[in-house]
């Protein structure tokens, strides 16, 4: 199947890496479903940006951790476009604190969105992706960096890596690739929120390229896995400028 004929679902596409990914896949000619949870206006902005550039996109709402809502979303995509070829699971939340101080409610919220949400969407993707399809989930380079205060967030992403890499083997014979993208420090609101400028500057200096990543940097790697990278399967792709 031509990349230009692909139907892609991007969760968390109303902002940050998800939005950059949706716009990047649309530039490749894919029809993009811009998933959002609560911010409809931002999702519609993403759709408008894509359509104004000549692409095709539709905004659909759903809680990634609610299997009924996501079943409805996937069914709607099939109804509108006939099938699904790419699923990018960019939805996620992050709360930072040392393990000893983290509120368990924050831990539970991250587990629900990052782990259960990824599982729900991956399960639906495994059931519905067409031959030649691709599933891309998200982890984090903190798995290697082991930075303090990221304990719980990194734990959720460790779970994502485990389920994704095993799923790649479970889909033997389907001609569906399953991979993980693990960004390093990336200039998104999720990463920048609450950090003093001197901390941001220090983190940016750690990579040999001496800058933070951008959402567009990450989106390029996702586009590679979603399109031409048919011989990359069951891998964690670290996209971090060489920081780890």
Q: What's the rounded Cα separation, in Å, for the pair 129 and 86? A: 7
Burial of 233-244, coded b for 16+ CB within 10 Å and e otherwise, reads: bebbbbbbbebe
Evaluate the CA torsion angle 217, 149, 153, 107 in order and state its sign.
negative
Kindly give the residue spans of alpha helices, DSSP state H, lying in the chain: 16-27, 40-52, 67-81, 104-110, 117-128, 142-145, 151-170, 189-192, 197-206, 215-226
104 and 156 Cβ atoms separated by less than 8 Å: no
Q: How many CA atoms lie within 13 A of 169 on its CB side?
A: 5
Predicted confidence (pLDDT) per residue in 71-121, tens digit: 999 999 999 999 999 999 999 999 999 999 999 999 999 999 999 999 999
pTM higher than 0.85, yes or no? yes
Q: Residues near 79 by Cβ (< 8 Å), separated by ≥ 6? A: none
> Can you give the residue ranges of every domain in the chain?
3-184+215-239
pLDDT score for 195: 82
Nearest to 27 by CA among 216, 183, 184, 212: 216
Give catalytic residues, as residue numbers.
153
pLDDT value at 2 more than 70: no
Q: What's the rounded Cα separation, in Å, for the pair 4 and 67? A: 29
pLDDT score for 4: 74
18 and 11 Cβ atoms separated by less than 8 Å: yes
DSSP letter (8 states) at residue 116: I
Phi (first) and psi of residue 126, to 5 degrees: -60, -35
Q: Which CATH architecture has domain 3-184+215-239?
A: 3-Layer(aba) Sandwich (3.40)
pLDDT score for 1: 55
199 and 148 Cβ atoms separated by less than 8 Å: no
User: Between the CA atoms of 132, 137, 142 and 145, what dihedral angle is there, to the nearest 10 degrees?
Assistant: -10
């Amino acid at each position: 199947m031509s990349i230009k004929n692909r139907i892609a679902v991007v969760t968390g596409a109303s902002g940050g890496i998800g939005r950059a990914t949706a716009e990047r896949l649309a530039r490749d000619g894919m029809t993009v479903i811009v998933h959002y949870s609560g911010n409809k206006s931002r999702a519609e902005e993403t759709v408008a940006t894509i359509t104004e550039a000549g692409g095709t996109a539709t905004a659909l709402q759903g809680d990634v951790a609610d299997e009924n809502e996501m079943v409805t979303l996937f069914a709607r995509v099939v109804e509108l476009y006939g099938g699904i070829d790419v699923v990018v699971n960019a939805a996620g939340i992050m709360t930072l604190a040392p393990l000893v101080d983290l509120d368990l409610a924050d831990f539970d919220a991250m587990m629900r969105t990052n782990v259960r949400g990824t599982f729900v969407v991956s399960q639906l993707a495994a059931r519905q992706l067409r031959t030649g399809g691709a599933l891309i989930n998200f982890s984090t380079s903190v798995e290697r960096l082991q930075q303090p205060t990221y304990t719980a967030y990194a734990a959720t992403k460790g779970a994502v890596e485990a389920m994704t890499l095993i799923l790649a083997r479970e889909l033997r014979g389907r001609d569906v690739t399953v991979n993980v993208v693990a960004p390093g420090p990336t200039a998104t609101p999720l990463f920048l929120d609450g950090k003093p400028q001197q901390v941001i500057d220090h983190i940016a200096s750690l990579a040999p390229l001496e800058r933070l990543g951008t959402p567009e940097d990450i989106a390029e790697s996702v586009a590679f896995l979603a399109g031409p990278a048919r011989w990359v399967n069951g891998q964690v792709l670290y996209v971090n400028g060489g920081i780890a």
